[in-house]
Each structure stands twice: as C-alpha cells, then as structure tokens.
C-alpha cells in the first residue's frame, strides 16, 4: 500500500473516488478518519442550520468526473429537462437530500469502506522515499484532507450561557441575535423568522451577494492563472479579501427580511439567545497536525497558510518519488475555494497526477 488519505470527510471521499477512477485499487489506498461515514460531519452541520439546498451547482458533487452532474441525475429521476435548463443558466441548486444520497452511492461504489481505517493521525514526518504516519505506517504519497480545525466563537462571547454556534443543534428563542453575515447567518435569519422569532442580525459590514463562495472565474483554469502568478503578499491580501461574508442574491433571501421582526445592529444587546454563525477557526496553526508538520520540517508559510505549489502539493516535501499534498480549506493557497467540493476535486486531481507516474515505474 503506497497511498494514504488523512481525513475521512467529503474532501477525503472526493480524493478516494478520484484515485479509484484513476486506476488505483482499494488495497493500494488507506484512508484514515474518525468516522466510517464521510458525510456525517457535514450532514450534522447542515441539519443544525436546517439547510435544504446546496450553494453549489450541478457539478458540486463528490464523484471523480464532472459528468454526469447532479442536474443530469435529477433530470433522469424526474423525467424532465427542467434541471438541465436551470443548470445551463447556473440556477440549479441540488437539495441536501439529493447530495447526501449521491455521496452514499459514491461511498458504496468506490469501495470506501474497504479502505477506511478509523484511526486519528496526529503526526506526519518525512522519511526517505515517503512519510511516516504516527511514527509507524509508511506511505510514498500522502494527501492531508483534514477539514476545518474547529468552530469559531467571538472571544467576547466565550462562556456566555445564551450562546450556541449555528452548526450545533439548537431551537430558536422568541428573541434571537445572530452574529455573522455569511451563508450560515443568512440561512439562520430565515429559520428564526420562520419559527416566529424576532431577529437581530449582528454585523459590522454588509455581506457580499454572489451565487458561489467566490467569484466564478476562480473556479476555472483561466481564472486561476493570474492568481498563481501573484506574489506572496498579494496572495495573502487576496485570500483575506475572499473570506468576506457572502450569500446568494435573490428574492428568496430578501423578501422574508422585509418585516418589522428583522433588524440590523453592530453588536449584541441582551437578547434571550445568541446564535454565532461565525464559521470555523482559520489557519494551519489552528490544526495541531499541520502546526507540528510546519515547525518540524520548517515549511514555508505566509500569514495563516502553508505555501503550496499550484497542484496543492507541499514543495519542500514533494519530489519525483513522493508526494505530500493538502486538500480542503488548508489548500486555499493553490485553490482559493479549497473548502468547496470543486476545491476538493482540484486537489484530488493534482494528487492523482503525481501518484500515477510512480505506479507505472
């Protein structure tokens, strides 16, 4: 066995499906994760915010190839061209249930359960010809798909009994203050209003309105080319600007807010309940494995990112015989939307391109 994926979530599943499509057999891949179900963590967060539809479009799925996308699957199931027409206009948004059903199918079809090892990897160390995991297992090629390092809470609200994070199970009080202005916050505004609550949106700036997490060109090869040519300082500035809160435009998001029960305020002010839709802690230093890896191997870093090659590999630890690569949110240096399904597949395909030549030698 020569290939390891560290991380048993959706980014790990994308990578596994891509490697299997590229010709690797299950006994050539080990996947290390806390849970057998790669969708479990994501699904629990989606349930917490009552998410019904994906922000991604037809190709926002975990299969190795773009076709058939989720719109094609929906068209087959419904015997209708409607999903395809909406997809052409970039208006197709798959339901969460459809996405989870698709992820379960990819899990079964790919042989994921054959390769999953429910074990936490806490240390990755470079050795001759590869990498040791936890000082024992050795692999020539390792992809770190570690996910987000934990939920973020504003320090001033830490320990406040009224506080719950949006991604934790919760109901809604009669008066709710929702901190944040991104996708999770916008979803929670609608949820709380639908539950009959009076809602205060606590924010210091208005959110951007865009269909996807980032501008659409950054999901394309042409759009990435100038990004990859930036200096370190320029790239840090861009990545920080890309983290600005946003949610999609449209009447479905705006109309419910036109009620006296919704208002905007710059700070919390005594509500019965405070919901922090403040996302996740950011930066490689927030993840113990990556923090240790960067320190022990003196990796090049810039602000809160490990510097990566355009294919998401770690330059100082990758050569013709071995590969260490990152996927997910920690791969934003190579793909700004690294924490999306498109980003997971971008990293997975780059990883496969490095693994394939080594297997044929």
> Hey, CA dihedral for 33, 344, 132, 107, is it positive or negative?
positive
Is 47:60 a contact under the CB 8 Å cutoff?
Answer: no
The DSSP result for 163-221, as a single string, is EEETTS-----SEEEEE--SHHHHHHHHHHHHTT-EEEEE-SSPPEE-SSSS-GGGGSH
Phi-psi region of 262 (alpha: psi -120 to 50; beta: other; left: phi over 0): beta
- Write out pLDDT tens, residues 297-329: 999 999 999 999 999 999 999 999 999 999 999
348: cis peptide before it, omega within 30°?
A: no
Predicted local confidence at residue 173, as pLDDT = 97
- Distance in angstroms (rounded) separating the CA atoms of residues 166 and 176: 12
Predicted local confidence at residue 88, as pLDDT = 65
Q: Output the six-digit token pair for 114.
A: 């054959």
Listed by start position, the domains of the chain span: 3-150+281-359, 155-207+245-276
Contacts of 297 (CB under 8 A, 6+ apart): 126, 316, 317
Q: Output the six-digit token pair for 320.
A: 């013709």
Is 48:168 a contact under the CB 8 Å cutoff?
Answer: yes
- Distance in angstroms (rounded) separating the CA atoms of residues 32 and 121: 7
The reply to whether CATH 3.50.50.60 applies to domain 3-150+281-359 is: yes
Is 110:20 a contact under the CB 8 Å cutoff?
Answer: yes
Is 9:33 a contact under the CB 8 Å cutoff?
Answer: yes
- Topology (CATH level 3) of domain 155-207+245-276: FAD/NAD(P)-binding domain (3.50.50)
> Hey, CA dihedral for 160, 329, 64, 31, is it positive or negative?
negative
Predicted local confidence at residue 89, as pLDDT = 64
Per DSSP, which regions of 59-123 are E strands? 116-118
DSSP percent split of the chain into helix, strand, coil, nearest 5: 40, 20, 45
- Distance in angstroms (rounded) separating the CA atoms of residues 312 and 325: 6
* CB-count exposure of residue 22 (10 Å: 0-12, 13-18, 19+): middle
Predicted local confidence at residue 63, as pLDDT = 87
Predicted local confidence at residue 84, as pLDDT = 65
Q: What percent of the chain is modeled with pLDDT above 70?
A: 96
- Distance in angstroms (rounded) separating the CA atoms of residues 353 and 360: 12
CA R_g for the chain: 21
Neighbours of 12 (CB within 10 A): 28
Predicted local confidence at residue 135, as pLDDT = 87
- Distance in angstroms (rounded) separating the CA atoms of residues 70 and 258: 33
DSSP secondary-structure letter at 313?
Answer: B
| Residues of the chain with confidence (pLDDT) below 50 | none
């Amino acid at each position: 066995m020569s290939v390891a994926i560290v991380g048993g979530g959706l980014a790990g599943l994308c990578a596994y499906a891509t490697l299997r499509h590229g010709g690797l057999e299950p006994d050539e891949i080990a996947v290390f994760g806390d849970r057998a179900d790669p969708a479990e963590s994501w699904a629990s967060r989606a349930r917490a915010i009552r998410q019904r539809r994906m922000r991604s479009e037809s190709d926002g799925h975990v299969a190795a190839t773009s076709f058939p996308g989720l719109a094609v699957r929906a068209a087959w199931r419904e015997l209708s061209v409607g999903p395809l027409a909406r997809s052409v206009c970039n208006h197709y948004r798959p339901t969460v249930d459809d996405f989870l059903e698709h992820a379960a199918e990819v899990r079964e079809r790919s042989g994921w359960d054959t390769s999953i090892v429910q074990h936490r990897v806490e240390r990755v160390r470079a050795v001759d010809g590869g990498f040791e995991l936890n000082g024992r297992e050795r692999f020539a090629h390792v992809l770190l798909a570690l996910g987000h390092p934990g939920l973020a809470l504003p320090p001033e609200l830490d320990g406040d009994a009224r506080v719950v994070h949006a991604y934790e199970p919760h109901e809604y009080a009669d008066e709710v203050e929702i901190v944040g202005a991104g996708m999770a916050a916008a979803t929670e505004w609608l949820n709380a209003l639908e539950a009959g609550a009076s809602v205060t949106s606590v924010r210091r700036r208005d959110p951007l309105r865009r269909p996807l997490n980032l501008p659409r060109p950054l999901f394309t090869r042409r759009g990435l080319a100038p990004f990859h040519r930036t200096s370190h300082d320029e790239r840090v500035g861009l990545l920080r600007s890309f983290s600005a809160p946003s949610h999609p435009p449209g009447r479905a998001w705006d109309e419910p807010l036109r009620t006296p029960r919704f208002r905007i305020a710059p700070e919390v002010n005594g509500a019965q309940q405070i919901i922090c839709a403040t996302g996740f802690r950011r930066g490689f230093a927030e993840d113990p494995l990556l923090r240790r890896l960067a320190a022990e191997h003196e990796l090049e870093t810039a602000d809160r990112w490990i510097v990566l090659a355009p294919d998401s590999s770690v330059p100082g630890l990758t050569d013709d015989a071995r590969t260490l690569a990152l996927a997910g949110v920690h791969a934003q240096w190579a793909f700004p939307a690294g924490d999306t399904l498109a980003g997971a597949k971008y990293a997975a395909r780059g990883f496969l391109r490095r693994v394939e030549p080594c297997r044929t030698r």
